[in-house]
């Protein structure tokens, strides 16, 4: 690459990494008569893509903090230059970790990092490249299943689309998976029946094994299996 072109790219990189430097950019190119407002559009566009992508991926997280706090989060996350992948949505992958790092210092609600982690998992499961087999030989856990664990009861808050009471403290296992036919993301709290059914699939246990080992009623075990195969968490032969 010729030096002139390299110099052009270097100056644009510096400008877009910190778009406040419009004057610096124009000073780097004496005689460049482009209107500053026109050049500034590019900084605006690049920042818009980050902001709009985060708003699309993390609507509940956004709703759970004040507009000012959200604007700060977006601005400061943008400064980490998260666009390291050609797929635009992937720029949100590091956002939950970023939020977790700054939650205490910024006085954000304590449940927000867990909520952001759920919202990223929701997207990642939706587009997961895991192939769900159309037929299985035995009870099988849906390969898109992602299990999140956190010290807040998020599920009612998510079901209420962030409109309900603030999530209460308390350990929660949150199961997230893609329904094999609908191809939409499902989630639920990992209650005992669901975890029992997952254990049966993972360890190849029959209903009879479980009844004998736990003393649970056969009907309870069968109901757990029916529920978890019906919602696609487990795949049945």
Contact residue for another protein among 24, 75, 84, 191 (CB under 8 A): 84
Distance CA 63, CA 69 (A): 10
123 near another protein, judged by CB under 8 A: no
Residue 199 touches another protein, criterion: CB under 8 A: no
Closest separation in Å from C-beta 48 to another protein: 9
| E strand or H helix at 56 | helix 36-57
The count of chain residues that interact with another protein, using the rule CB under 8 A, is: 43
Q: Shortest distance, CB of residue 218 to another protein, whole angstroms?
A: 35
Is there a contact between 83 and 28 (Cβ–Cβ < 8 Å)? no
Which DSSP category does 20 fall into?
T
When binding is defined by CB under 8 A, the residue of 21, 22, 39, 231 that contacts another protein is 39
Of 70, 141, 178, 225, the one binding another protein by CB under 8 A = 178
Structure tokens of 58?
């993390």
Which residues are CB-neighbours of 228 under 8 A, at least 6 positions away?
193, 194, 197, 198, 234
42 binds another protein, rule: CB under 8 A:
yes
Torsion of CA 58, 62, 64, 66, to 10 degrees: 170
Residue 27 binds another protein, judged by CB under 8 A: no
Kindly list the distances between the CA atom of residue 97 and the CA atoms of 114, 117, 120, 124, in Å, as whole numbers in the listed order.
10, 8, 11, 15
- Does 4 help bind another protein (rule: CB under 8 A)? yes
User: Nearest approach, Cβ of 20 to another protein (angstroms)?
Assistant: 17
Residues near another protein (CB under 8 A): 1-2, 4-6, 8-9, 12-13, 16-17, 29, 31-32, 34-35, 37-39, 41-42, 45-46, 49, 53, 81, 83-88, 91, 126-131, 144, 178, 183-184
């Amino acid at each position: 690459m010729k030096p002139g072109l390299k110099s052009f790219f270097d100056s644009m990189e510096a400008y877009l990494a910190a778009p406040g430097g419009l004057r610096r950019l124009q000073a780097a190119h004496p005689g460049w008569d482009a209107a500053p407002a026109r050049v500034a559009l590019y900084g605006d566009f690049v920042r818009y893509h980050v902001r709009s992508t985060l708003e699309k991926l993390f609507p509940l997280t956004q709703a759970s903090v004040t507009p000012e706090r959200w604007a700060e989060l977006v601005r400061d996350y943008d400064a980490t230059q998260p666009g390291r992948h050609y797929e635009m949505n992937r720029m949100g992958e590091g956002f939950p970790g970023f939020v977790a790092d700054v939650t205490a210092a910024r006085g954000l609600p304590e449940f927000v990092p867990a909520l952001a982690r759920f919202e990223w998992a929701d997207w990642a499961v939706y587009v997961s490249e895991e192939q769900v087999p159309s037929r299985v030989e035995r009870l099988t856990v849906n390969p898109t299943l992602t299990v999140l664990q956190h010290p807040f009861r998020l599920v009612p808050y998510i079901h209420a689309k962030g409109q309900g009471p603030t999530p209460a403290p308390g350990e929660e296992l949150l199961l997230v998976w893609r329904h094999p036919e609908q191809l939409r993301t499902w989630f639920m709290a990992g209650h005992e029946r669901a975890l029992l059914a997952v254990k049966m699939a993972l360890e190849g246990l029959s209903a009879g094994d479980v009844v004998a080992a736990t003393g649970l009623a056969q009907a309870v075990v069968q109901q757990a299996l029916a529920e978890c195969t019906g919602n696609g968490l487990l795949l049945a032969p």
